[in-house]
Amino acid sequence: MKKIIALVALVAMSAAYAKDLVSVDISRLITESKQGKELRNRIDSEVEQLQQYQNTEVAKLQEKNNDLLRQSKALDAEVLNSKIVALKMEERRLQRELQARQEDIQAMMQSEQEILRRKVTAVAANMREEKEWSGVFDSSAPYVVAAGDDVTSVVLERFDSAFTDAAVNDDVRGA
């Protein structure tokens, strides 16, 4: 509780001294920027491919199961049992594979979002110096800050233009 009060007091004091505090919604920048939209499209494509693969593999397993049911009366109990066990093992293997691929997609998305977050933060920091803002706060962060002008749209425009130009702006090259 003391930390929250101290944070609020610090923000209030800084607001009293700095009349040009601004806020930027980093989450919005990540989702609405051109690179963020491209990332979302790549993720959606990966998920769709995984879904198609899953549907195909499940259909194959169902067909194998149906074949086994049709053959069950002709097979002796031991052979039937071993085929059932093999089919269940194949099903578990597929479940593990699908889980691993889902986790890979999730990890890739998180990694790409972090890279994008660093780039966006670098652009916002450089704009703070350029515009002589006293401070830039992330309005999507889970803490309370003094009300400042929201410049998310301005930073989004700068960020997108930095990546549509032929040469990447030095502002974000190191990010």
Nearest to 92 by CA among 50, 53, 46, 61: 61
pTM of the entire predicted model: 0.68
Task: Report which of residues 76 and 152 the model is more confident about.
Answer: 76
- Does any domain span residue 4? no
- Does any domain span residue 32? yes
Q: Which domain holds residue 41?
A: 18-173
Residue 40's pLDDT is: 94
- Does any domain span residue 5? no
Residue 143's pLDDT is: 57
Residue 159's pLDDT is: 81
Average pLDDT over residues 59-86: 93
Supply the DSSP string of 1-48, one letter for each residue: -HHHHHHHHHHHHHHHH-TTEEEE-HHHHHHHSHHHHHHHHHHHHHHH
- Does any domain span residue 88? yes
Q: How many domains does the chain have?
A: 1
pLDDT tens-digit series, residues 74-131: 999 999 999 999 999 999 999 999 999 999 999 999 999 999 989 988 888 888 888 8
Nearest to 145 by CA among 137, 133, 154, 156: 137
- Does any domain span residue 11? no
- Does any domain span residue 62? yes
Instruction: Give the whole-angstrom CA distance, residue 36 versus residue 27.
Output: 10
- Does any domain span residue 9? no
Task: State the residue for tokens 């929250």.
Answer: 4
Residue 138's pLDDT is: 80
